[in-house]
Structure 1
Amino acid sequence: MTARDSQIERRWDQLHTWGPYALLATGLGPAIAMADPRAHPVRWYTGWALVGCAVVLQLLWHGYRLRRPDRARTPSRLGTAYYVVRWALAFALTWLNPFFAFYAASGYMDADETIPGSRWQRLGLFASAITVAAAQTGGMPFTSGLQWLVFAALLFFNSGLQMVVAHLTTQETQRSHERKETIAELERTNAALQQALDENAALHAQLLVQAREAGVADERRRLAAEIHDTIAQGLTGIIAQLQVVANTPEREPARRHLDRAMELARHSLGEARRSVHNLAPVALENDGLPEALKKTVAEWGERTGVRAEFTVTGTAEQLHEEVSATLLRIVQEALSNAARHARATRVGVTLSFLGEEVILDIRDDGTGFDPLTVPARTSTGGFGLDGMRARAERIAGTLTVESEPGHGTALSARVPLVRHDQ
């Protein structure tokens, strides 16, 4: 319920509480001014007695409304009894003096609050209309047929008007009740949606933690595979060349083997430095993901001599560090694969920010391959397509591969857009 609705309901409550007092006082003033106690002493004292009873009745009902506000606003047998007694007092007072029809009109205000059932409410309004129409005719008792005719016309007009007003009031009350139910349902829906959003944010956080832990394990496996494939093999080659030198007395063959050993040592040193560099996304320490990808693609193009381009579409946002690291790793691995296997002349990398999703596309015009023939993971633990797909899936993303022998390769990674402060 809005503040405006609460204010309107409070004003209606005040009207129902103090209205009968005001209407009784409105009728009492002119009744006293027009009455002659000496001419009709019995009517005078009877009127005062009825006014006293009306005041006591209102005080009792007022006290009940204060003690039980919810029940007093709900139609009940007690409310019906109050309405009937008040109508009887108003009818008797109007019989004594027509000005008390003001008090009888209070029956128009709260029939829906005191009498249960629409049929009985209409009967209560009709009874109040009888008293008011009789006062408008000139007071009771009637002394001529013309008064009866005028009374019937006024009764028809008063009761008809009240029935129309009651019908419109009932419809407005029903619409108000429906609006309240709609608002309550919307509030429940919003609360459920907020709870779902909170749970989703918590799941995202948990997912990122799990991705970080799994990423550490994958980096260890990748580093172990690279040491085995490059550094360990290089050291084995160096040892073999040195053993040949030790067993070769001729100077020239020994020098050739030493040169090969030095070349293998330099190559192994380079591979060791590259492995250490790739162990952590150093490129993200000072730059956001778009800047880091731009530098990575440019450096790779200069190192390999392949034309490489990087593009950003959409409004760039600062991503969560785990999302940025995952996408950077995918690009690094894809470029490494392109350099080793694709024999491409052109590579394009596109980072797209689309609402609540980030899309990373990597395309090359290399030799291509049949994705169905690629093993899930090499025997040495290499970190190829299967590893890139696992990276994306750990942060609730996907990786799709489109390739055909002789027609290049296209990788597309789609991950949720998780912002830095989430």
Structure 2
Amino acid sequence: MTNPEYQQPRASFQTWGPWALLAAAVVAGVMSARVVGVDRVGLVVCAVLVPAAVVLQLWAQRVRRKRPGPNRTSVCLYLLRWAFAFVLTWANPFFAFYAVTGYYIAVRELPRRLVMPGLFLTAVTMSGSEIGGWPPHGVTLWLGFFLVLAVNMGMVSVFTRYALQEEARSLNQAETIGELERTNAALQRALDENAALHAQLLLQAREAGVADERRRLAAEIHDTIAQGLTGIIAQLQVVANAPDLSTARTHLERASALARHSLGEARRSVHNLTPVALAADGLPEALKKTVSEWGERTGTRAEFTVTGTTEQLHDEVSATLLRIAQEALSNAARHARPTRVGVTLSFMGDEVTLDVRDDGTGFDPAAVPERTRSGGFGLEGMRARAERIAGSLTVESEPGQGTAVSARVPLVRDDR
């Protein structure tokens, strides 16, 4: 790859430089012909070779456009131009203006191995001109010729080396620029792909958020309205079979209280606030009231215990554990028919554990997934709630041996 900014002036000189040098040589040759003593043969040689040099230059430019060098044709053209320049300089030393063209086109038209020999031929022509013209007369002029030739070749070697180094630097620069352009293009493509991926991830996150919110609302409805309605139905069934008006009135009052409680829970669930039981009390007090009220409604002996140093928990942690306790108690009332239930809240370092145990009928936990696939929010709902705050839920049960539900969640304090 070649640097266009570096090649443009070179290409301009390759096109117009030889013409300018040939024109300068012709003018200098005409003006100096009498001074240097050009004879009739020299004049004839100049009259023939100058037009030939013009034709050669036109042909060389045409060939260069079709087949840029270096190649065999460009080597032949270089040697032919050198021969013209050598003979013209022999006839008149001032035609060295034309001979100097060889210095500038050698690298372009000659293979690398022939560059120095080509420059040497041009240096021979130039050295002959600089000592007064060809051929040197006498030993002194021959010694002067070789001295001038050595100086010319030394300068040519130095300048050629610098020119090749500059060209190599320009090529490296051009390659670096090209690599940077390719890298920038690749980065731009990566940025475009990342933008598309980002948009896709945003869409997926939005859809996941919508789905998660739907699950949350479904679970909230199940934990509030559904459980409340279940309790109301249970109280009304008792009313229907009540032996006296006093008993019926007691259960009607409980049903009314459940309805009001469920309505408050429904309103707070819609606004994504904490459960009603946590509005004024901490988690231990809320769990104690929940267990006590559940025991009164179901007629089951229910006990609540707190172990460890009580901490003020974050609202999300408190709400999660309260919902899990409510669901576990609701499941026990509907399926286990227990005579005794124990709920324990344990503060253990950086964890909080909620255990709900009953002595009911028990069940086979392996069969639960088959039932929950129908859309229930029982054990799977409790497990999802615990995992949502980086916790876990385990269930231990056997038919006829009761059930133990244990939820472990991180202890996140309320810093307000």
TM-score by length of 1: 0.66
**Percent identity over the alignment?**
49
1:62 maps to a residue whose letter is Q
TM superposition shift of 1:59: 1.0
TM superposition shift of 1:340: 4.8
Q: SS state of the match for residue 109, structure 1?
A: helix
Equivalent in the alignment of 1:386:
387
Equivalent in the alignment of 2:55:
56
Kept in 2: contact 1:75–1:113 (CA 8 A):
yes
Equivalent in the alignment of 1:43:
42
The CA distance in 2 between the partners of 1:126 and 1:39, in whole Å, is: 26
1:25 maps to a residue whose letter is A
Assess, with a 3 A threshold, how the Cα gap between structure 1 residues 378 and 124 changes in structure 2: closer, same or farther. farther
Deviations 1:220-244 (A, max 9, x none): 3333333222211101111222333
Greater Cα radius of gyration, structure 1 or 2: 2
Kept in 1: contact 2:317–2:412 (CA 8 A):
no
TM superposition shift of 1:250: 4.9
Kept in 2: contact 1:337–1:384 (CA 8 A):
no
Q: Does 1:31 align with 2:13?
A: no
Q: Does 1:152 align with 2:146?
A: yes
Q: Does 1:338 align with 2:341?
A: no
1:79 maps to a residue whose letter is S
The CA distance in 1 between the partners of 2:413 and 2:8, in whole Å, is: 68
Kept in 1: contact 2:352–2:411 (CA 8 A):
no
Q: How many residues align?
A: 321
RMSD: 3.7
The CA distance in 1 between the partners of 2:187 and 2:6, in whole Å, is: 31
TM superposition shift of 1:94: 0.2
Task: Pick the aligned partner of 1:277 from 271, 289, 301.
Answer: 271
Equivalent in the alignment of 2:96:
101
Kept in 2: contact 1:225–1:380 (CA 8 A):
no
TM superposition shift of 1:46: 1.7
The CA distance in 2 between the partners of 1:45 and 1:218, in whole Å, is: 102
Gaps of 5+ in 2: 283-313, 323-346, 356-364, 366-376, 392-407
Assess, with a 3 A threshold, how the Cα gap between structure 1 residues 366 and 217 changes in structure 2: closer, same or farther. same
The CA distance in 1 between the partners of 2:8 and 2:111, in whole Å, is: 22
TM superposition shift of 1:249: 6.7
Task: Pick the aligned partner of 2:130 from 136, 144, 156.
Answer: 136
2:387 maps to a residue whose letter is D
Kept in 2: contact 1:95–1:139 (CA 8 A):
yes
Equivalent in the alignment of 1:80:
75
Assess, with a 3 A threshold, how the Cα gap between structure 1 residues 110 and 219 changes in structure 2: closer, same or farther. same
Deviations 1:169-220 (A, max 9, x none): 1122122222222222222223223323322332333233333334444333
Kept in 1: contact 2:232–2:259 (CA 8 A):
yes
The CA distance in 1 between the partners of 2:160 and 2:258, in whole Å, is: 100
TM superposition shift of 1:141: 1.4
Assess, with a 3 A threshold, how the Cα gap between structure 1 residues 269 and 113 changes in structure 2: closer, same or farther. same
Kept in 2: contact 1:234–1:264 (CA 8 A):
yes
Task: Pick the aligned partner of 2:87 from 84, 92, 96.
Answer: 92
Assess, with a 3 A threshold, how the Cα gap between structure 1 residues 265 and 370 changes in structure 2: closer, same or farther. closer
The more displaced of 19-28 and 206-215 is 206-215
TM superposition shift of 1:131: 0.5
Gaps of 5+ in 1: 279-295, 307-333, 343-364, 391-404, 412-422
Deviations 1:275-327 (A, max 9, x none): 3334xxxxxxxxxxxxxxxxx89x99x94577xxxxxxxxxxxxxxxxxxxxx
Equivalent in the alignment of 1:369:
351
TM-score by length of 2: 0.67
